[in-house]
Amino acid sequence: MPAQPFHPCQALADLLLPHLPADNGDGSHDLAHIHRVWTNARTLQAKEGGDLQILLAAALLHDCVAVEKNSPLRAKASTLSADRATTLLAELGWPAERISAVAHAIATHSFSAGLQPETLEAKILQDSDRLDAIGMVGVARCFYVGGRMGSALYDFNNPTAAGRDYQDRQFSLEHFHTKLLKLASGFQTGEGARLAAERHRRLELFVEGFMDEIAGPQE
């Protein structure tokens, strides 16, 4: 990682990073994830515009309250993080209107929350976080989380889930169909949608290749 991974807002990162919660052992929502979201946000901001300081604060704090994927509080995770960010930024003396902008972006970034982003920064943060859920990084994160949750790779007896609903908490492969392959259609910015289409195709190719490999020889 470069000496200033959150350039050109490294001073803000240095101020906020010490306030993040301790590492909880979730490698899908660690500092590397935050940095990838920030990198995505910078890429989108270069095309779409937006306030980099608000984007970085939102990116750094968007998961500042850790909630496991299988927790009944999962749908509230982004709201909890927005509330925590509001308190933290107020303690640091941020103006109320900028705190509100950061909190809105955090609250609306989550797929589970189902909230609509209204500001450009909120749209960029949502797109930036969702870009990290698709493509090859999305594949890695899907199976990593499945392993943490005790899921099997796929249903040996019925890998295509024929005749039943998808069960993505039991079988990681089925999470592609319940969520990951649906994400690209819901991007908020033009550049985000363009990048999402590229990564969506990588997901499709992965699933096609995976199914081919587990099928075995055909009689």
Higher-pLDDT residue of 195 and 217 is 195
Same domain for 110 and 14?
Answer: yes
Mean per-residue pLDDT, 157-169: 97
**Domain termination site, one of 118, 141, 172:** 118
DSSP code per residue over 41-108: HHHHHHHH---HHHHHHHHHHTT-S---TTSTTGGGHHHHHHHHHHHHHHHTT--HHHHHHHHHHHHH
89 or 114, which is more confident?
Answer: 89
Q: Is the same domain home to 18 and 98?
A: yes
Q: Are residues 105 and 187 in the same domain?
A: no
Same domain, 96 and 156: no
- Does 110 lie in the same domain as 3? yes
Looking up residue 49, the CATH number of its domain turns out to be 1.10.3210.50
Instruction: To the nearest 10°, report the CA torsion of 179, 185, 188, 189.
Output: 130
Distances from the Cα of 185 to the Cα of 75, 87, 164, angstroms = 21, 34, 24
Q: How far apart are CA 147 and CA 174, in angstroms?
A: 14
Same-domain check for residues 46 and 84: yes
- The rounded percent of the chain whose pLDDT value lies above 90 is 80
Those residues whose C-beta lies under 8 Å from the C-beta of residue 3, and which sit 6 or more positions away, are none
**Higher pLDDT among residues 4 and 69, named by residue:** 4
Tell me which of 59, 94, 118 is where a domain ends: 118
Asked if residue 138 and residue 113 are part of one domain, the reply reads: no
**Residue 126 domain-assigned?**
no
**Into how many domains does the chain fold?**
2
Residues 161 and 111 in one domain: no
Degrees, nearest 5: CA angle 211-213-215? 65
In a domain, 34, yes or no: yes
In this structure, the answer to whether residues 93 and 182 fall within a common structural domain is no
Domain annotation covers residue 128: no
Range(s) of the domain holding residue 180? 133-219
* Band of residue 73 on the pLDDT scale cut at 50, 70, 90: low
User: Is residue 98 in some structural domain?
Assistant: yes
Per-residue DSSP letter, 171: B
Judge whether 175 lies within some domain.
Answer: yes
Q: 159 and 54, same structural domain? A: no
pLDDT score for 119: 97
219 — pLDDT class (breaks 50, 70, 90): low
For the chain, what percent of residues have pLDDT higher than 70? 94
For residue 139, is it within any domain? yes
Judge if 3 and 100 occupy the same domain: yes
Give the torsion through C-alpha atoms of 155, 159, 160, 165, to 10 deg: -10
